[in-house]
């Protein structure tokens, strides 16, 4: 058996991997000697390549005038990107440096020739992208060798590829793979700048390793973890010490005690959730609109055709819905998750395609979904929460879209709280008396058919739930496990929160009721959970609108705890 490297050499390999950084600041003007640059390029040239095609070329750029033209191209795309960001992200992006084209003595371009080696290049015929992958591996080698030489490398991708290719005189059959800024640096940061700046977080390795099949997450030598069980185990009660500190600070802030009303309790709960006083600002924020269709629509419980679900998804993605307008005002991002729309949706940016089924079954005829489908939707929701938090969000907002989902919500609320269907069922988008009576009857029939057991939350979700309810429950659990606040919208989110809290009672600590919707079942839910709504405007739209409206209130509560002076610090006399 071939031997591995001696320990100190092996450590050096792992060290260079761990200490390689994308560098954008602190470049020194010192030139890079030709022999050093030669070694680094030789390392790049030893990369593996599909069919040994070696599809890369390296263009070494030092000319100032050329770099200035290239920097102008990057600046234009940076500005376009910045203009498209929601407010909560835009201020963070402003602080980020995304290129060092003029700060570095050498810029390197790694290109790819997808035609090199002719038609029968081994492996490339079946997967044309393997040519690009090969050039990326050359970049990786280069990046590691540069780190070992003490050279910083920063990758810039804010380009229109053909525009850049024209500036470099690339023939049409060559593609730009990477634009790299290279130079000596004052130091290498221990962590990615984007992590230090709070833009994104490193995902734990355990989220990325699967045993045998996708979804069976587990590190080598460990049993695969059930993601739902994993999240449930991670949910813990609020931190009593941080809550006490927040209460105490509220009392010392330069204002009469209690004068911030319900916002004082919001700040205390945020501190308890974060385990810190003051808690981090709940910004940036992202609303996830979970969309799905409902078999119970066939019972005539809504005046709207089922196709409206898919049509509204398109509207959210085009930025034309109320939630988009409110989110733009509040500086939040909107992302749409298809967990069960009964139509094929075009892949567009902002849509997470996570369809589990094309809608549920009619719960008056049988369970709306199988237990496996309910579990899959829960896991989908918690993974969306994880991804949005890893992407740097500090506050999650629930949204939903699904024609007939107030009927499913009413059934869920009755099952979890024991409420009477006549008290928990509302008029949804607006229905006449006959339809309303039918809707109550549908909920009653569902309840008597399934005889739900609230101690079996998965069974209740499977019996009545929409796929969006189950996914929203998972989203809430995911937020609670990561100790990130989740602002709940109306009755659909409320029904989902009942399921989440039934699965993990401490998940309630992460939940903030954005508003009280007009559906009677929502009031029942908020009372049952003991959550005080922040906004009460008679909204009955869903989409996440009420929760987005409450975002500035939650953020203000945290900011007050952080920024407001205390009597002692400001030298203001306290009440006698
Ligand atoms: C394909 C690719 C494109 C990138 N483009 C940019 C970019 O345009 N601007 C930038 O500042 N960083 C860019 N980066 C750097 C990443 O932000 C960086 O690798 C990531 O935050 C992890 O940090 P680390 O490389 O220091 O570990 C890019 C990285 C890769 C792999």
Ligand 1 contact, 370 CB (< 6 A): no
Report which of 178, 199, 210 is spatially closest to residue 92, judged by C-alpha positions: 199
Indicate the burial class of 82 (C-beta count within 10 angstroms; 0-12, 13-18, 19 or more). Answer: middle
Percentage with pLDDT > 70 across the chain: 100
Residues 6+ apart with CB under 8 A from 568: 252
Quote the DSSP letter at residue 532. Answer: P
Specify the range with the lowest mean pLDDT, choosing from 192-206, 383-397, 501-515, 546-560: 192-206
Q: Where are the alpha helices (DSSP H) in 282-370?
A: 307-318, 322-330
Residue nearest to atom 16 of ligand 1 (CA): 22
Report which of 569, 564, 571, 426 is spatially closest to residue 495, judged by C-alpha positions: 426
| 481-513: pLDDT as tens digits | 999 999 999 999 999 999 999 999 999 999 999
Ligand 1 contact, 67 CB (< 6 A): no
Report which of 178, 154, 143, 188 is spatially closest to residue 24, judged by C-alpha positions: 154
Rounded Cα gap, residues 555 and 485, in angstroms: 11
Do 200 and 391 contact (CB within 8 A), yes or no? Answer: yes
| Confidence check: pLDDT of 116 > 90 | yes
Q: How far is the CA of 178 from the centre of ligand 1 (A)?
A: 11
Rounded Cα gap, residues 534 and 313, in angstroms: 27
What average pLDDT score do residues 49-53 get?
Answer: 95
Ligand 1 contact, 308 CB (< 6 A): no
Rounded Cα gap, residues 27 and 299, in angstroms: 67
Counting atoms of ligand 1 from 1, which one is nearest the CA of 139?
A: 31
CA dihedral 159, 163, 168, 170 (to 10 degrees): 110
Annotated catalytic residue 264: no
Do 535 and 550 contact (CB within 8 A), yes or no? Answer: yes
Ligand 1 binding pocket mutation candidate from 16, 129, 155, 187 (most atoms within 8 A of CB): 155
Rounded Cα gap, residues 289 and 493, in angstroms: 11
Counting atoms of ligand 1 from 1, which one is nearest the CA of 74?
A: 8
Specify the range with the lowest mean pLDDT, choosing from 10-19, 208-217, 227-236, 252-261: 208-217
Residue 535 pLDDT: 97
Rounded Cα gap, residues 155 and 160, in angstroms: 15
Ligand 1 contact, 230 CB (< 6 A): no
Ligand 1 contact, 24 CB (< 6 A): yes
Percentage with pLDDT > 90 across the chain: 90
Q: Which of 99, 283, 468, 543 is catalytic?
A: 543
Residue nearest to atom 18 of ligand 1 (CA): 22
Do 250 and 532 contact (CB within 8 A), yes or no? Answer: no
Report which of 544, 554, 496, 546 is spatially closest to residue 521, judged by C-alpha positions: 496
Rounded Cα gap, residues 252 and 560, in angstroms: 12
| Confidence check: pLDDT of 87 > 80 | yes
Counting atoms of ligand 1 from 1, which one is nearest the CA of 136?
A: 1
| 248-298: pLDDT as tens digits | 999 999 999 999 999 999 999 999 999 999 999 999 999 999 999 999 999
Ligand 1 contact, 98 CB (< 6 A): yes
| 315-330: pLDDT as tens digits | 999 999 999 999 999 9
Rounded Cα gap, residues 243 and 344, in angstroms: 47
Residue 117 pLDDT: 87
Report which of 503, 491, 426 is spatially closest to residue 461, judged by C-alpha positions: 503
Rounded Cα gap, residues 369 and 358, in angstroms: 11
Residue 124 pLDDT: 85
Residue nearest to atom 25 of ligand 1 (CA): 22
What average pLDDT score do residues 207-227 get?
Answer: 90
Q: How far is the CA of 329 from the centre of ligand 1 (A)?
A: 30
Ligand 1 contact, 147 CB (< 6 A): no
Ligand 1 contact, 196 CB (< 6 A): no
Quote the DSSP letter at residue 125. Answer: T
H-helix or E-strand containing 285?
A: strand 285-292
Report which of 457, 502, 506, 513 is spatially closest to residue 483, judged by C-alpha positions: 506
Cα distances from 397 to residues 31, 107, 214, 298, 544, in angstroms, run 50, 42, 28, 30, 7
Report which of 92, 550, 548 is spatially closest to residue 327, judged by C-alpha positions: 548
Rounded Cα gap, residues 7 and 552, in angstroms: 54
| 407-429: pLDDT as tens digits | 999 999 999 999 999 999 998 88
Q: How far is the CA of 84 from the centre of ligand 1 (A)?
A: 20
> pLDDT category, 95, cuts 50, 70, 90?
confident
Ligand 1 contact, 199 CB (< 6 A): no
The separation between the first and the last C-alpha atoms of the chain, rounded to the nearest angstrom, is 82
What average pLDDT score do residues 161-174 get?
Answer: 96
3-state secondary structure of 69: helix
- Helix and strand element counts for the chain (H, E): 23, 10
Specify the range with the lowest mean pLDDT, choosing from 47-61, 112-126, 237-251, 356-370: 112-126
| Confidence check: pLDDT of 39 > 90 | yes
Residue nearest to atom 6 of ligand 1 (CA): 156
Rounded Cα gap, residues 400 and 377, in angstroms: 14
Do 284 and 332 contact (CB within 8 A), yes or no? Answer: yes
Ligand 1 binding pocket mutation candidate from 16, 22, 161 (most atoms within 8 A of CB): 22
Report which of 197, 387, 192, 389 is spatially closest to residue 274, judged by C-alpha positions: 389
Residue nearest to atom 31 of ligand 1 (CA): 155
Ligand 1 contact, 224 CB (< 6 A): no
Residue 561 pLDDT: 97
> pLDDT category, 92, cuts 50, 70, 90?
confident
Residues 6+ apart with CB under 8 A from 392: 89, 92, 194, 198, 199, 200, 201, 284
Extract the tokens encoding 355: 């369809």
Residue nearest to atom 23 of ligand 1 (CA): 192
Q: How far is the CA of 464 from the centre of ligand 1 (A)?
A: 45
| Confidence check: pLDDT of 576 > 80 | no
| 5-27: pLDDT as tens digits | 999 999 999 999 999 999 999 99
Q: How many CA atoms lie less than 13 Å away from 193 in the CB half-sphere?
A: 17
Ligand 1 binding pocket mutation candidate from 157, 182, 187, 196 (most atoms within 8 A of CB): 157
Residue 88 pLDDT: 82
Using omega within 30 degrees of 0 as the cis cutoff, is the peptide bond preceding 28 cis?
no
Counting atoms of ligand 1 from 1, which one is nearest the CA of 23?
A: 26
For residue 259, which phi and psi values (nearest 5 degrees)?
-75, -10
What average pLDDT score do residues 215-229 get?
Answer: 90
Q: Where are the alpha helices (DSSP H) in 183-261?
A: 193-196, 205-208, 227-234, 240-252
Q: How many CA atoms lie less than 13 Å away from 173 in the CB half-sphere?
A: 8
pLDDT averaged over every residue in the chain: 96
Ligand 1 contact, 22 CB (< 6 A): yes
Ligand 1 contact, 132 CB (< 6 A): no
Residue environment code for 456-492, b if the CB has 16+ CB neighbours within 10 A, otherwise e: ebbbbbbbbbbbbbbbbbbbbbbbbbbbbbbbbbbbb
Rounded Cα gap, residues 506 and 286, in angstroms: 22
Rounded Cα gap, residues 398 and 488, in angstroms: 5
Ligand 1 contact, 194 CB (< 6 A): yes
């Amino acid at each position: 058996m071939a031997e591995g490297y001696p320990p100190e050499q092996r450590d050096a390999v792992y060290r260079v991997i761990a200490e390689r950084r994308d560098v954008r600041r602190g470049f020194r003007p010192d030139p890079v000697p030709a022999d050093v640059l030669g070694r680094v390029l030789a390392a790049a040239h030893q990369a593996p390549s599909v069919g040994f095609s070696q599809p890369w070329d390296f263009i070494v750029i030092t000319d100032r005038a050329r770099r200035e033209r290239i920097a102008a191209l990057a600046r234009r795309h940076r500005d376009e990107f910045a203009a498209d960001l929601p407010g909560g992200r835009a201020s963070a992006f402003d602080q980020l440096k995304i290129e060092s084209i003029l700060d570095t003595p050498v810029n390197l371009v790694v290109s790819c020739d997808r035609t090199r080696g002719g038609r029968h290049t081994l492996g490339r015929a079946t997967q044309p992208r393997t040519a690009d992958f090969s050039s990326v591996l050359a970049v990786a080698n280069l990046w590691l060798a540069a780190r070992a030489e003490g050279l910083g490398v920063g990758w810039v991708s804010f380009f229109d590829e053909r525009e850049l290719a024209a500036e470099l005189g690339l023939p049409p059959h060559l593609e730009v793979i990477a634009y790299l800024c290279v130079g000596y640096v004052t130091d290498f940061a221990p962590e990615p700048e984007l992590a230090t700046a709070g833009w994104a977080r490193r995902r734990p390795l355990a989220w990325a390793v699967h045993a045998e099949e996708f979804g069976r997450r587990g590190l080598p030598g460990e049993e695969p973890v059930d993601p739902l069980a994993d999240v449930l185990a991670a949910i813990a009660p609020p931190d009593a010490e941080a809550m006490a500190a927040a209460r105490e600070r509220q009392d010392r802030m330069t204002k009469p005690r209690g004068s911030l009303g319900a916002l004082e309790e919001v700040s205390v709960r945020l501190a308890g959730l974060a385990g810190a006083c003051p808690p981090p600002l709940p910004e940036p924020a992202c609303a996830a609109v979970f969309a799905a269709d409902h078999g119970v629509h066939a019972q005539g419980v809504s005046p709207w055709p089922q196709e409206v679900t898919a049509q509204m998804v398109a509207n959210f993605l085009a930025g034309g819905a109320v939630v988009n307008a409110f989110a733009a005002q509040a500086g939040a991002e909107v992302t749409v998750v298809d967990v069960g729309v009964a139509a094929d949706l075009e892949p567009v940016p902002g849509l997470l395609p996570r369809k589990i089924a094309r809608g549920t079954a009619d719960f008056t005829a049988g369970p709306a979904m199988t237990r496996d489908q309910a579990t899959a939707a829960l896991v989908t929701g918690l993974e969306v929460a994880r991804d949005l938090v890893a992407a740097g969000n500090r506050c999650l907002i629930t949204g939903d879209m699904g024609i007939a989902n107030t009927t499913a919500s009413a059934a869920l609320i009755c099952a979890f709280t024991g409420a009477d269907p006549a008290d928990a069922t509302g008029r949804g988008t607006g229905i006449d008396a006959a339809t309303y009576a039918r809707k109550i009857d549908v909920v009653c029939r569902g309840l008597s058919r399934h005889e739900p057991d609230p101690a079996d939350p998965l069974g209740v979700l499977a019996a009545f739930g929409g796929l969006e309810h189950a996914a929203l429950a998972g989203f809430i659990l995911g937020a609670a496990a990561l100790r990130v606040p989740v602002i709940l919208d109306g009755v659909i989110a409320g029904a989902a929160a009942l399921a989440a809290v039934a699965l993990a009672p401490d998940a309630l600590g992460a939940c903030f009721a954005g508003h009280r919707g007009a559906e009677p079942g929502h009031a029942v839910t908020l009372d049952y959970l003991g959550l005080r709504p922040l906004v009460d405007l008679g909204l009955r739209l869903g989409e996440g609108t009420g929760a987005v409206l409450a975002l500035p209130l939650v953020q203000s509560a945290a900011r007050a705890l952080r920024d407001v002076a205390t009597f002692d610090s400001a030298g203001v006399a306290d009440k006698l």
